[in-house]
Amino acid sequence: MKIYLDNAATTQLDPEVFSAMTPYLLEHYGNASSHHAHGREAKRAIEQARNTIASLINADPSEIIFTGGGTEADNTALLSAEGRRVITTPLEHHAVLHALNKPHYLSVNNKGEIDLAELELLLGDGVPSFVSIMHANNEIGVINDIEAIGRLCESYGAIFHSDTVQTIGHYRHDLQNLKAHYITCSAHKFHGPKGVGFLYCRKGTNLSQLLHGGSQERKLRAGTENIAGIIGLAKAFEIVCRDIDEHKHHIQGLKSRLVAKLKDLPGITFNSTSATEDSLYTVLSVNFPPTGIDLLALLDENNISVSGGSACSTGSASHVLQAIKSDRSKDTVRFSFSKFNTIEEIDYTFEILAGIYNTVAA
């Protein structure tokens, strides 16, 4: 049995998505910028995908810009801060943190939660601000109240960007009610293809161009469009929005089952709120008592794929765990779940973990 529990890093491509993409890999291969029949066919497919996505987040199609993924979408939004003071948190993905120059960091508690009163105090000082706060953290699963943050930003005339890469496809987003100027998406986080995503940019909001060279995406994002990828993105998004309640119930059940079992092992702790139903339901961050062995490698040897945190930070200490002052003497494992995981996989994973710790204790 091979078990994949690293779905926050990437997900298995849905066969239904692959079927939708295949004609645009083999038959409808035209360049959407070409004016002949092949090009027009590709252009129509892109616009149909744009309309589908916009309808699913209650946005206007003109507010959807296709990108090469979540990192590009975040980078593009942040480039548009243009002289405003940037307010963010130390828990953001590196796609945000590495794109900023001397931002103001909000404080976080040991669960990774921010204080909205602190944010309001900053916004109230009259300095034009650009606020970048993720919806849910990819390592510890803490969820920020982006509806409340959006309302605060609107009250004080601040621009609000939210990295929603971990929650698009897992929660419903209504951009008529969410007061965000930018949100981001990456298809491979919800069973779509890698290398494609979108940036939502609210009408009337400035958008600085990151990529230059062509007039694609209304001159906002140069480069020949990834037609098959865009088709796959739209199809994957359509599927997850269609089945979102069923998937959430299934995944939350798997996570709760693993939490209940892990609590039987001595010395286990959980980071942030990840073991509760108030967290991102796809992520569970667990601290294990040190064994003196490489726990991730040992799980890998038993055909269980997990991670210690973000795949983008492999080989370096987690800035997220450092920021919440997690006990670094312990071994941290991030389990992240998808609709394709099963109860049998959860039970087997626990059996392997229990065996490891029973051996160590003996």
Active site members = 312
The whole-angstrom separation of Cα 119 and Cα 116 is 5
What would the two tokens of residue 171 be? 């929660």
The whole-angstrom separation of Cα 29 and Cα 100 is 38
What would the two tokens of residue 55 be? 């309808």
3-state secondary structure of 108: strand
The whole-angstrom separation of Cα 288 and Cα 6 is 17
Half-sphere exposure of residue 353: CA atoms within 13 angstroms, side-chain side: 29
Label the pairing between strands 283-288 and 269-270. antiparallel
DSSP state of 6: B
Strands (E) in 163-246, as ranges, are: 182-186, 197-201
DSSP state of 190: G
The whole-angstrom separation of Cα 163 and Cα 69 is 12
Nearest Cα to 233, choosing from 225, 224, 223?
225
Region for residue 303 given its phi and psi (left: phi exceeds 0; alpha: psi -120 to 50; beta: otherwise) = left
The whole-angstrom separation of Cα 315 and Cα 116 is 33
Count of Cβ atoms closer than 10 Å to residue 207 Cβ: 18
Q: Residue 116: exposed, middle, or buried by beta-carbon count in 10 A (0-12, 13-18, 19+)?
A: middle
Count of Cβ atoms closer than 10 Å to residue 65 Cβ: 22
DSSP state of 101: S
